[in-house]
């Protein structure tokens, strides 16, 4: 396995774990602060937009830079 293959595999696996862990942190924060349904929706919306922006950036880089 080359270094590039290892990097690609580890980025995918570890970033997925980090995103799931951040989701748990946001859920726990909303629960402890008694944010309610709308507050939890906003918290997860912002987390989702951040993750979506990261994924969108990677897609753009893969297709626009040969």
- More confident call, 66 vs 6: 6
Structure tokens at 7: 């990097």
Query: Is 43:30 a contact under the CB 8 Å cutoff?
Result: yes
- More confident call, 2 vs 65: 2
Segment 21-61, tens digit of pLDDT: 999 999 999 999 998 999 999 999 998 899 899 889 988 98
pLDDT value at residue 38: 94
pTM recorded for the entire structure: 0.72
C-alpha–C-alpha distance, residues 54 and 31, integer Å: 26
């Amino acid at each position: 396995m080359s270094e590039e293959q290892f990097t690609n595999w580890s980025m995918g696996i570890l970033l997925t774990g980090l995103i799931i862990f951040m989701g748990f942190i946001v859920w726990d924060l909303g629960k402890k602060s008694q944010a309610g349904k709308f507050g939890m929706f906003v918290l997860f919306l912002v987390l989702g937009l951040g993750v979506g922006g990261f994924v969108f950036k990677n897609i753009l880089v893969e297709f626009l830079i040969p």
